[in-house]
Amino acid sequence: MAVLTAMFSVAFMAFAVSRWMTIPDWASEARDLEGFVLTRTEGETPSWSASTRRTQESVATSTNMAEVLEKMYQRAKADVDQQIQEYEMEIPELEQELADSREASEADSLAVKVRSDALIARLTEMDDEVNRLTAEMEREKAEAQKIQEERERRRSDVFRIREQLGEIEADSFRAKQLQEQLTDMIRRTKGSVVKLQSRNRQLQESVN
């Protein structure tokens, strides 16, 4: 008896599972429609109500959940169709904006190219000017180096000339001293000659 009861229980469970698998899962389908809210009203005759999630607008109410779900699908399709229609109405305006934007972009591109070419030309001029100034600075640097070398050479010449001038001044001083000595010797010699001449006359007078 227990075995028969168990067998009948298993058979009933298998029947219930197979029956459940053949019934559509309306609740799961309703949850897939994200833009709607599905509520169940309990009572003697339970009913289902659907409304939009954003505006809480009523979509359908029925004791048959399948009918409510169908209304939800119809409303969802109508909303999508309306959005498509709105988008299609916006397409010409968007195309015009795109054309205007493309035209403005082309004009901007031309202006940018003109400006870019002008800047490139200006940069080329500036590079040439920098190269010219660099070359000029190098020449001035070379000239300054030559002037510095010439200054050093002149400084050496001045030092050498000063040494020579010192030697000349020393020679001049020695020559002046020698001249004074010679002048004194000449003066003494002349005095001696005068004395000798006077003595010679005296001797001649004595002889006569």
> Does 13 map to a domain?
no
pTM: 0.36
How far apart are alpha carbons 194 and 208 in whole angstroms?
A: 21
Number of domains, the chain: 1
Q: What percent of the chain has pLDDT over 90?
A: 1
* Residue with the two structure tokens 């999630």: 53
- What is the residue range of 46's domain? 27-109
Q: Beta-carbon neighbour count of residue 120 at 10 Å? A: 10
Residues 110-154 pLDDT 10s: 888 888 888 898 889 988 898 999 999 998 888 888 888 888 888
* Residue with the two structure tokens 């050093």: 152
> Does 157 map to a domain?
no
- Residue 25 is predicted with a pLDDT of 64
Residues 77-86 pLDDT 10s: 888 888 888 8
One-letter amino acid identity for 69?
L
> Does 76 map to a domain?
yes
Give mean pLDDT, residues 47-76. 84
Give mean pLDDT, residues 38-50. 83
Give mean pLDDT, residues 2-11. 36
The residues, ordered by sequence, that sit 6+ positions from 26 with a Cβ below 8 Å of its Cβ are: 65, 66, 69
Which H or E element spans position 76?
helix 65-207
- Residue 30 is predicted with a pLDDT of 64
Measured CA to CA in angstroms, residue 72 lies from 6, 49, 106, 157 at distances of: 44, 10, 48, 114
Residues 184-203 pLDDT 10s: 888 888 878 878 877 777 77
- Residue 29 is predicted with a pLDDT of 67
> Does 129 map to a domain?
no
Task: Report whether pLDDT(24) > 70.
Answer: no
> Does 199 map to a domain?
no
> Does 179 map to a domain?
no
Task: Report whether pLDDT(20) > 70.
Answer: no
Q: Could you tell me the pLDDT band of residue 23, with boundaries at 50, 70 and 90?
A: very low
> Does 159 map to a domain?
no
Q: Beta-carbon neighbour count of residue 10 at 10 Å? A: 10
Mean model confidence pLDDT for the chain:
78
Task: Report whether pLDDT(9) > 80.
Answer: no
> Does 170 map to a domain?
no
Residues 84-102 pLDDT 10s: 888 888 888 888 888 888 8
Residues 148-176 pLDDT 10s: 888 888 888 878 888 888 888 888 888 88
